[in-house]
Amino acid sequence: KLTTRKMLLSLIALLSASLLASAAPPTCYSRVLSLSKEITESFKELQTSKDVDSCVATLPRLYLDIHNYCVLAKLRDFVAYPRCDTVLEVNELKEKARSLYTILISYCRRDLVFLTDDCNALEIPIERSITES
């Protein structure tokens, strides 16, 4: 009985440790990276959706690269864009963009390194820039 109990306790300890390891909070970088990918995907879906208001076609392009310093201006422009305020999906996307901007300039300001400041690179769709390089 004693050996079974020790094995059971060891197993519980091992499982607890693995749960704690997988529950570690995301780093600033991982959070910013995942949120930027989520925003970019949502923007692409919004652009291709047939059920959305025609004003969506006039939205500023939203191809994000968190390693590009111009991403800050891109996010500001998108959030401040005055049209499409009645479209729920656009408002949700603007909220995500506002959150990303806040995280970039406040919480992660010292943790991130911008590798470029090529603003034109953020105007090119991601698929096209990958296939051209």
The percent of the chain in helix, strand and coil, each rounded to the nearest 5, is 65, 0, 30
Q: Does some domain include residue 3?
A: no
Q: Does some domain include residue 7?
A: no
- pLDDT bin (cut points 50, 70, 90) of residue 123 is confident
When divided into structural domains, the chain yields a total of 1
**23 has pLDDT over 70:** no
Q: Does some domain include residue 14?
A: no
Q: Does some domain include residue 53?
A: yes
pLDDT in tens, 71-114: 999 999 999 998 888 888 999 999 999 999 999 988 887 777 78
Q: Name 72's Cβ contacts closer than 8 Å, sequence gap at least 6.
A: 101, 104, 105
Q: Does some domain include residue 37?
A: yes
**120 has pLDDT over 60:** yes
**21 has pLDDT over 60:** no
Q: Does some domain include residue 17?
A: no
**Segments in 69-111 forming alpha helices (H):** 71-80, 88-102
Q: Does some domain include residue 109?
A: yes
**35 has pLDDT over 90:** yes
Domain hosting residue 35, numbered range: 27-131
Q: Does some domain include residue 5?
A: no
Amino acid 79 reads V
Position 132 scores a pLDDT of 40
Query: d(Cα 76, Cα 106) in Å, to the nearest integer?
Result: 14
